[in-house]
Amino acid sequence: MNNKVMIGMSGGVDSSVAAYLLKEQGYEVIGVFMKLWEGRGESERACCSLSAAEDARRVADRIGIPFYVINMKKPFMDKVVDYFVDEYLQGRTPNPCIACNKHIKFDEFLKKAIMLGCDHVATGHYAKVEYSSEHGRFLLKKSATDEKDQTYALYNMTQEQLSRTVLPLGTYNKGEIREIASSIGLVTANKPDSQEICFVEDDDYASFVKNMSKKKIQPGNFVDRQGNVLGRHEGIIKYTIGQRKGLGIALGWPAYVVDIDPKTNSVVLGTNEDVFKKGLVAGDINVIPYEKIEDGMKVQAKVRYNARPKPATVYNMDDGRIKVVFDDRERAITPGQSVVMYQGDIVVGGGIIESSLE
């Protein structure tokens, strides 16, 4: 393999410093901004905006690497945005960053890199890729600091993708990255982190889904766990498991969303205790260190990006799905989100949550 690497540059500080570090390590670096979406405002945090592309170009000029803009709007629409909208319409809560990493950043982007003569791709993710002679496979491992670790969003990576991926930020914390950016005079040194989904303006998921959907969003019933009608809701796209605020209903007790039933267009309400479940069933499984998960494997599992991994046991199901049973009941297990499993700092793999277990 050659040492030519194509790095995705978003116009943020992380990918900017990642590009600089790769050049310092002796790679022949090509910077690429992926044009994914139109219609965003020019917010400083809008990673798909024209100003973000210009920031990425200025960084590339500063560190002396070639820079290109690649149009990926169609695959992004097909594989990420349409998926996002459809999942919400089905009463699930998707994670579009996971879909984007799987289909765009480490699939379409890698294919373009290989076409351009690069053997590797890189991003500014906080994670590590290492080859393990013990496993005979490439491993995805947590970054140096749990605070910035981004392995939850990368669990779908294949052995081929891992073998061609360089993640230079895995041994750094965020403060160190900003210090490096300042020391070499990058315009992105003090740029705020992007906090929202890049294609959803003002974090208003429900309005986005409503505007993008060809289906009319229908109101329906709030019901209790026995099916008794409690009131009316404005459409299932406005709710997610564990939600308490913004329900628009007063019952005289703290009500939480404990289930969403798209077949009956119902939102099930219960107590905070009802939100805790013993486990989950997940499909679309990807495993990294092994050919497959050993039945009864002990892991640490997390069901949301910002959650702490909790002790759990994994069981294989006959149809290729897995059952994950937590040692202690876990809060707000949400269909559409991903469960990601760890052993120490090694990512075992993960899958899409289909249902919770009482």
**195: pLDDT confidence band, cut at 50, 70 and 90?**
low
Task: Identify whether residues 54 and 105 lie together within a single domain.
Answer: yes
To the query of whether residue 48 is one of the catalytic residues in this protein, the response is no
Instruction: Quote the CA–CA distance of 140 and 109 in Å, as a whole number.
Output: 19
In a domain, 321, yes or no: yes
**Distant-in-sequence, close-in-space partners of 135: CB < 8 Å, separation ≥ 6:** 289, 290
Amino acid identity of residue 188, one-letter, is T
Contact 153, 97 (CB under 8 A): yes
**DSSP class of 105:** I
Residue 44: per-residue pLDDT = 42
Task: Identify whether residues 255 and 285 lie together within a single domain.
Answer: no
Task: Identify whether residues 26 and 67 lie together within a single domain.
Answer: yes
Task: Identify whether residues 9 and 109 lie together within a single domain.
Answer: yes
Residue 311: per-residue pLDDT = 98
Task: Identify whether residues 82 and 178 lie together within a single domain.
Answer: yes
Residue 48: per-residue pLDDT = 61
Alpha helices in the chain (DSSP H): 13-24, 50-63, 73-76, 82-89, 96-100, 109-115, 159-163, 174-183, 205-212
pTM, two decimals, is: 0.93
Amino acid identity of residue 143, one-letter, is S
303 half-sphere exposure, CB direction, 13 A CA radius: 29
- Spell out the SS3 assignment of 285-340: EEECCCCCCCCCEEEEEECCCCCCCEEEEEEECCCCCEEEEEEEEEECCCECEEEE
289-322 pLDDT, tens per residue?
999 999 999 999 999 999 999 999 999 999 999 9
Residue 41: per-residue pLDDT = 42
Instruction: Quote the CA–CA distance of 3 and 293 in Å, as a whole number.
Output: 34
Task: Identify whether residues 224 and 82 lie together within a single domain.
Answer: no
Task: Identify whether residues 73 and 178 lie together within a single domain.
Answer: yes
Residues across the chain: 358
- Helices 13-24, 174-183: inter-axial angle, 10-degree rounding: 70
Task: Identify whether residues 334 and 229 lie together within a single domain.
Answer: no
Kindly report the number of other CB atoms within 10 A of residue 198's CB atom: 21
Contact 194, 240 (CB under 8 A): no
Domain housing 14 = 4-124+168-184
Of 47, 48, 118, 198, catalytic: 198
1 beta partners: none
**Distant-in-sequence, close-in-space partners of 17: CB < 8 Å, separation ≥ 6:** 124, 169, 177, 180, 181, 186
Instruction: Quote the CA–CA distance of 133 and 42 in Å, as a whole number.
Output: 47
115-150 pLDDT, tens per residue?
999 999 999 999 999 999 999 999 999 999 888 999
Instruction: Quote the CA–CA distance of 199 and 49 in Å, as a whole number.
Output: 10
**203: pLDDT confidence band, cut at 50, 70 and 90?**
confident
Token pair listed for 98 = 């996971």
Task: Identify whether residues 110 and 245 lie together within a single domain.
Answer: no
Q: Where are the beta strands (DSSP E) in 167-309?
A: 220-223, 229-233, 256-261, 266-270, 276-287, 297-302
In a domain, 325, yes or no: yes
Of 47, 48, 100, 118, catalytic: 100
In a domain, 205, yes or no: no
Binding-site positions read 8-15, 34, 124
In a domain, 347, yes or no: yes
Task: Identify whether residues 55 and 178 lie together within a single domain.
Answer: yes
26-48 pLDDT, tens per residue?
999 999 999 998 754 444 444 56
